[in-house]
Structures are given as structure tokens and as C-alpha cells.
Chain A
């Protein structure tokens, strides 16, 4: 079955450390996205990528970085510059010409 796999499901990080969240899709979708979810605030767009080797900042890109070296993969790095990284992170993808996203099951990051 096609879908999006995010790993790990839970991640703990010490302050000052960088951490990378994995997102892999086998849907053959061109576009991929990272959102952050905080309680009561909905979802906010961090980065998105329309195609391999190209990506754009979203609304809250500061303290995050991404890469898109393969169509299937869009990892997100949460750097030590991100002041409040504890959140639920969601990866999504979309197919050209079809409106709407397919979401992964998310990674919950906690800074300890």
C-alpha cells in the first residue's frame, strides 16, 4: 500500500542538539511539505518542496532546514536555533492536479 512513513514516532532531544526527522513516501508525489502542530493552534507550514533539489520556506522556517535529494524523501532538521522545538511534526505530499494532501502519522518531538 502506498503512503507516507514518518520516523521515529517519538523523539527526545537535549537542548542545543540538532535532530533530523525522517519522511518517506512511495506515492510518486512530486510535492512534499512539513507542518508543525501545537495545541490549539492548528498547523503551520515550515517548508515545502515542489520537486527534487528545490524547496521553499513556509511561514515558520526559522530554526529548521530541509533537503530533497530524492523524490521519495524529505527530511527535516530541527536545529539548536529553533527556540521552542517541542511539537508534533507532520509531513505531507500532494499529487499534481489533485487537490489536497496525504499526511504521514507524525513525529512528536520533545526537548528535555
Chain B
């Protein structure tokens, strides 16, 4: 079945540091890939997505490239801020079945940015 493996956390960085959170996946066919962010006590918000190989998703300074050859979708940001502190989830979706998409999530990576 489909699965997602994320870099284990927690990750602690200083402000303005470079961020990488690794994500690899196992899937049949051609999944779509996502990064979601969760702030304390809240639901998940879509950060970025990519729906085919070599696509780059980007938003709020975060980027991730869909690499089919390495089955990876690593999240990067060049200069993190304290406000980026949150839990980040990598996820994949196979082809929709009768309009429903079953997203499979990684275990999440807690990121803390110190001033």
C-alpha cells in the first residue's frame, strides 16, 4: 500500500537558518504529493503541492520538488522565521476513487525556530 516516511523530529533551528525536512514515499502509479502545516491546537493547512514528476510546489518561501527517481518530496526554506514553528506533514494521494481522495500522511515533524 501507499506510505510516507518523514524525517524524525523534533527539529530546532535558529532564525534565518536553512531548513530541510525530508520526505520519501512508496506508492503505486503516479501520486500527488503535499505538505501540510499544523499550528498548535489547530487543523492542518495546505502549504504546497505537486501533482506530477518534476513539479515544484512553493508557498510562503517554502519549496518542494516531486522527484520520482528518488521517490522524494523534501521541504526546504532558505531562511526560517520564528513564526514557522509548527508541525509539518508530508502526504500523498493516489488517484481519486469516485471523487474521493484518500490521503496518506507521514508522522509529522515538529519544527521549533529560536530567535
Contacts and interface: CB of A to CB of B under 8 A. Distances in A.
Interface string B7-42: 000000000000000000000000010101000011
B81 interface: no
A61 interface: no
B106 A90 contact: no
A42 B101 contact: no
Most buried by A among B34, B36, B98: B98
A110 to B, nearest CB: 14
A105 interface: yes
A12 interface: no
A45 B92 CA distance: 13
B99 A50 contact: yes
A48 B96 CA distance: 12
A106 B97 CA distance: 25
Most buried by B among A45, A99, A102: A99
A104 B32 contact: no
Given A99-B51, A100-B34, A90 B93 contact: no
Interface residues of A, number: 29
Nearest to B34: A100
Q: How large is the interface on B (under 10, 10 to 19, 20 to 34, 35 or more residues)?
A: 20 to 34
Contacts of B105: 35, 42-43
B25 to A, nearest CB: 13
B44 interface: yes
Interface in A3-53: 4, 6, 30-31, 33, 35, 40-43, 45, 48-51
B103 interface: yes
A94 interface: yes
A40 B97 CA distance: 28
Contacts of B100: 31, 33, 48-50, 56, 94
For the complex of A and B, list the 10 residue pairs with the smallest distance between their C-beta atoms, beginning with the closest: A103-B43, A50-B100, A42-B107, A31-B100, A42-B105, A43-B105, A99-B32, A103-B44, A105-B43, A50-B98
Interface of B: 32, 34, 36, 41-46, 49, 51, 89, 93, 96-103, 105-108
